[in-house]
Amino acid sequence: MKLLSLVLSALLLTACSSGPRIDHSYTASGQNSRVQYIVLHYTSTDLPHSLQLLTQEEVSAHYLINTVPPTIYQLVDENRRAWHAGVSEWQGRTWLNATTIGIELINQGYFDTPKGRYWQPYAQPQIDALIVLLKDIMQRHQLPPGSIIGHSDIAPQRKVDPGPLFPWKQLADAGLMPWPDAAMVAREQAVFTVSPPDVAWFQQQLAGLGYEVPNTGELDDATRNVIRAFQMKYRQALYDGQPDAETAALLLVLNRMGKA
């Protein structure tokens, strides 16, 4: 009797340690990926320091891409949350760590010199590797074009990465994001040059794309930062945060594309 009791106890312990028995015969059709966006960053440092920061500190990312060779490191499983976005908002969603995949690119960012700010360019092999990775992620998570955003898009008051030298147009040419048609932009720019919109219009258009922007009608520092973030993505030749005619044209064309 004592032996039987020991056997039953052992079986019970084994059952408890192995977890519940779950039937996986059925799969619900009403579901999709938890991933809504992919957020791009630069590391502001070299590979050894980046690996140390992203694996041994609080901050983390799902992927890290080196320059030469363009190695792709996976640091966090895509089904788990990485700590890369911080306080953030896009298209009304906040605290985006839970709904994003974060990709860090080895890049020093910028240096302030007596002659002005210097931005480090991105290595083409690194961008080629990134595009391959982005296509794979978007296919597996069934993300629509336009789901790739920069850290500066979701936190324009405190972040500038991936910076004005990041080649967003290459991502558009690869079919990963929409891009404003140059002829349409030129037509709208001519109209806005004669009749420029007010600041409230810019704020509404930026919000329509997904940015968190004040709705005050005033050209305050926060609004300038959001305009600058937009310009660093779509008009990299000039990103001064000024609400000018070309920026207005770019905004209008992109918003029309989103509603088409």
Helix orientation angle between 245-259 and 182-194, rounded to the nearest 10 degrees: 130
Q: Which residues pair with 116 in a beta bridge?
A: 113
Sign of torsion over alpha carbons 205, 210, 211, 213: positive
Asked whether 95 and 34 are in contact (CB, 8 A), the reply is no
Q: How far apart are CA 241 and CA 223, in angstroms?
A: 8
**What pairing do the DSSP bridges indicate for beta strands 116-119 and 110-113?**
antiparallel
Active site residues: 104
The three-point CA angle 157-107-207 to 5° equals 30
If phi > 0 it is left, if psi is from -120 to 50 it is alpha, else beta; for residue 180 that is beta
Asked whether 255 and 205 are in contact (CB, 8 A), the reply is yes
